Structure 1
């Protein structure tokens, strides 16, 4: 077993309350710290260096002591959450390892999607219990982030069975759903999430841009509100499409590609090329994005020879 305070009680369904330290008070870390406080853990120490982070900590973790040194936070923690950007994680781990502030038995959990527990090896060698806990959720910086964690899945990667149990317990406590991800698959897991969520934002932003320009052209008397109308027009369509694909998979695909309508796709490409000729440089590649997504959509259906020709010749 382990001397981790989380499991050091007779009733595993009522885990011990932990002294939690947070490095640092960004969007993800603050939401997770708030969620842990909501089930009785005590977030006693927070690293917050920027004015924005200090304001966030004061507003959402008002009972926590704020520090500007990670070692001071670690020295007060039984559960240490490292919520720094992915590309800063290795450096903060090295800093903590050299400080000697992380005591043996401390649970050290990071929230970086693309990393497993290997990045925590310098602390594991000092006796820490390493965890990778990545919430599959987007964060906007407000209290709604904490509420969303209660229905979120977490990618849990641990070094051994004991760590897996601890990680699962923490996630279950705050209402989340743990999903085990192998160490070797963390980057691939993260790529899938980025492709689905981040690229979705880019896709919808492109669609809004084009649709807004169409509405503006027709708004000769100024009665429409293109800034609002384009998102309002798209919202029911894309919301239904998202719900359908999550329930039905690729069979939810509709539209000209699903029908094999090569003429319609060719006309779309021509119209987008004409539009992009007068668009700002940042939007000129929307036609390339449409073509790439049309090809991916065609991979999910039996594409007609005519459609395959249009998509091939459009390069």
Structure 2
């Protein structure tokens, strides 16, 4: 009986959340059981248990020798070392597709692994992994995957993989990879910081459960922002309510001074975005003057 699985054997280097989630999603698409390697044997065993149809590899060389799909899920800073070590492993003439899941780096970092039979690419899932692989497999469906292939053939191989995961491929040029990743960090990571600062101010104002108070407002603001962009903005800056802004600045300066610089920076950026999109109304001039004052 001929297997219909698209890969002979899948290998994963790295044992974190992304490895477990994508490994769990791909395990059924490998003729032989998936193999995984990591520096920490305990974490490796845990990943094997989560993935299910998997086993621990003896070393990276086994993955380089036996696998036609190799996924690198190590930290960004560890990637060059892993690539160099993998490049020194026993060469194989079998066709392989090797990719990493880093957002920061493109395909060029994998150049030592490229050959006539080895295609390389960067495939970054634009989502958060929380350590719940079963639900994350579902979240990958219709999620975007930023792809930078070393060749058109590599892009085609990446498209095949993303389709297996149920995702949607978004091509990113090599030179734009850092900007792409900065945008994601600004939109997602800084959102966490923004909410933390708001909670700090609410707690200082005497609110016992800041997150509970914020949650409906933030969720609604996020939804309208994703649906309408800057057209969904509301609040005193849009209205040009300089007296309200002045009171905000005074209160922050006196009671929550660590929040004052980011508040000013975000408020000024909001005015810049208003101006860029629609032309900020004249009523916002006084607000800008207040925010730019030392």
After TM superposition, the score normalised by the length of structure 2 is: 0.89
Q: 1:202 aligns with which of 188, 193, 210?
A: 193
Residues 120 and 41 of structure 1, relative CA distance in 2, 3 Å threshold: same
Alpha-carbon separation, structure 1, partners of 2:194 and 2:272: 18
User: Structure 1 residue 294 and structure 2 residue 267: aligned?
Assistant: yes
Q: CA RMSD for the aligned pairs?
A: 2.1
SS of equivalent to 1:285: helix
Alpha-carbon separation, structure 2, partners of 1:125 and 1:246: 42
The corresponding residue for 2:170 is 179
Displacement of 1:285: 2.4
Runs of at least 5 residues in structure 2 that lack an aligned partner in the other structure: 275-279
The corresponding residue for 1:161 is 152
Alpha-carbon separation, structure 2, partners of 1:137 and 1:238: 19
8 Å CA contact 1:44, 1:76 repeated in 2? no
8 Å CA contact 1:20, 1:79 repeated in 2? yes
Q: 1:192 aligns with which of 180, 183, 204?
A: 183
User: Structure 1 residue 140 and structure 2 residue 130: aligned?
Assistant: yes
Alpha-carbon separation, structure 2, partners of 1:20 and 1:181: 25
Alpha-carbon separation, structure 2, partners of 1:42 and 1:272: 60
Q: 2:63 aligns with which of 53, 73, 77?
A: 73
Runs of at least 5 residues in structure 1 that lack an aligned partner in the other structure: 1-8, 217-225, 277-283
Alpha-carbon separation, structure 1, partners of 2:203 and 2:49: 37
Query: C-alpha offsets along residues 190-231 of structure 1, whole Å, 9 cap, x if unaligned?
Result: 010010001011111111222133235xxxxxxxxx2xx311
The corresponding residue for 2:113 is 123
8 Å CA contact 1:132, 1:158 repeated in 2? yes
After TM superposition, the score normalised by the length of structure 1 is: 0.84
Alpha-carbon separation, structure 2, partners of 1:164 and 1:235: 40
Matches within 5 A, 1:1-315: 16-38=6-28, 43-50=33-40, 53-67=43-57, 69-100=59-90, 103-125=93-115, 127-143=117-133, 144-216=135-207, 226=208, 229-276=209-256, 284-301=257-274, 302=280, 304-313=284-293, 315=294
8 Å CA contact 1:39, 1:174 repeated in 2? no
Alpha-carbon separation, structure 2, partners of 1:43 and 1:253: 51
Residues 39 and 259 of structure 1, relative CA distance in 2, 3 Å threshold: farther
